[in-house]
Amino acid sequence: MNKLCGDLDYRVPSACGITGIMDASGELFSGDSIYASICNMRERGNGLGAGFAAYGIYPDFRDFWCFHIMYQQESAKELTENYLKKYFKIRHFEPIPTRKTASLNRVPILYRYFLVPDKDVQEKMPVQMSDEEVIVSHVMYINRFITDAFVFSSGRNMGIFKGVGHPDEIGEFFRIPDYRGYIWIAHNRFPTNSVGWWGGAHPFGLLDWSVIHNGEISSYGINKRYLENFGYFCTLNTDTEVITYLFDLLVRKHGIDLELAGGIMAAPFWLQIERVKEPETAELLKTLRIVYAQALVNGPFGIIVANQNFMVGLNDRIKLRPLVAASKGSLLYIASEESAIRCVCSEPDMVWMPRAGEPTVCQLRKASGREKVWLKQKETANL
């Protein structure tokens, strides 16, 4: 039995709460807002998982990859650090700062490492890879083959903080209000068909990607086998992991834009494609459904996905999970409930319900000032 698990036999109807805030101008703001937003949906969880992801929080190490690693045993830490020293140059490492929280128990050993791939080692490898491919390969290796060690965050100038507990407990434990970032996402978990444990809490991450999810991925098995063909291996015992890897595969490796990637994972029904009047568009949709059939994500879901430049909200094809969005100046808010937005933004400029299968995309605008938030979506409606 996994030593970091919560009550493995506890099964309840699906709930989960997700929320995200992005300042498209790139201005940093504290974690107070995201903390308040997710805690407003505390009843959507059951204490078996919560977490946060933030971008822009490590400006002094912006050029270094940051591994957040949890260990179940001290021996796993020693093995992992020896492995990292073999393939990376480590600029700095330390325990992840935490605050003692009486309600949390069975807390793993938590460390963060700021590092870059060792070029001398890479040059001796038979196959030359990009830094991104190097990071992915080592994350997969550690999570698969080093017992009791799990890399749960591996991006640059960003970090994921998660564990078994309610969001207020996890936020207090990781001192979330002490950080400042320009994108924040947070999750309150209500696990149904997977265990509640520290590694299985949301967000899930790989490189700069982070994903939070409300729902259930019934296509997990076929998605998982499809991803293994490209070197991605699901080891964290939660269906959401496949969404993270699918975004990395489609956007980073295959060069597909975020809107189209969302259209692959939440693809239109064949009947809808047959009704498309433009022949070129219809042919494209047919081709994508055939080529990426195993990347289709089935089941009810509402997700928020982030990387260094974007935050995206996406529902399943018939919107079986709630998702609401709002904007205020250069800020975009996405959440399971409007109340989670209004508790931190009482008078938004616009509020709308993202349509089923149509991603709401906010892109970073690298400029000063408070420009209006830049959105890409086929249709928005002021409610």
3-class DSSP state of 153: strand
What the block records as the tokens of 185 is 């996402």
Q: What is the CA radius of gyration of the chain?
A: 20
CB 319 within 8 A of CB 235: no
Q: What pLDDT is recorded for position 383? A: 31
Low-confidence ranges of the chain (pLDDT < 50): 1-14, 367-370, 378-383
Closest of 113, 116, 114 to residue 134, by C-alpha: 116
CB 360 within 8 A of CB 328: no
- Which residues are part of the catalytic machinery? 16
Q: What pLDDT is recorded for position 11? A: 43
CB atoms within 10 A of CB 130: 10
| Phi, psi torsion values for 184, nearest 5 degrees | -135, 135
What amino acid is encoded at 77 in this protein?
Answer: K
CB 4 within 8 A of CB 201: no
Strand-by-strand arrangement of the 149-153 sheet? 88-95, 109-117, 65-71, 149-153
pLDDT digits (tens, 9 = 90+) for 133-175: 999 999 999 999 999 999 999 999 999 999 999 999 999 999 9
Question: Distance between the two ends of the chain, CA-based, in angstroms?
Answer: 49
pLDDT digits (tens, 9 = 90+) for 294-327: 999 998 899 999 999 999 999 998 888 999 999 9
Element (H, E) at 185: strand 183-188
Rounded to 10 degrees, the C-alpha dihedral 333/288/365/304 comes to 20
Note if the bond before 203 is cis, omega within 30 degrees.
Answer: yes
Report the distance separating Cα 234 and Cα 239, nearest Å: 9
Q: What does the longest C-alpha to C-alpha distance in the chain come to?
A: 62
Strand-by-strand arrangement of the 158-163 sheet? 158-163, 50-55, 183-188, 17-23, 331-335, 324-328, 350-352
Q: What pLDDT is recorded for position 373? A: 66
- Tell me the CA distances in angstroms from 117 to 63, 71, 135, one per residue in order: 12, 22, 8
| Phi, psi torsion values for 362, nearest 5 degrees | -115, 130
CB 155 within 8 A of CB 54: no
Q: What pLDDT is recorded for position 379? A: 41
Helix boundaries (H) for the chain: 32-39, 74-87, 119-123, 131-145, 167-173, 220-228, 241-247, 258-265, 270-274, 279-291, 338-342
Across the chain, mean pLDDT equals 90
- What is the residue whose two structure tokens read 């089935």? 298
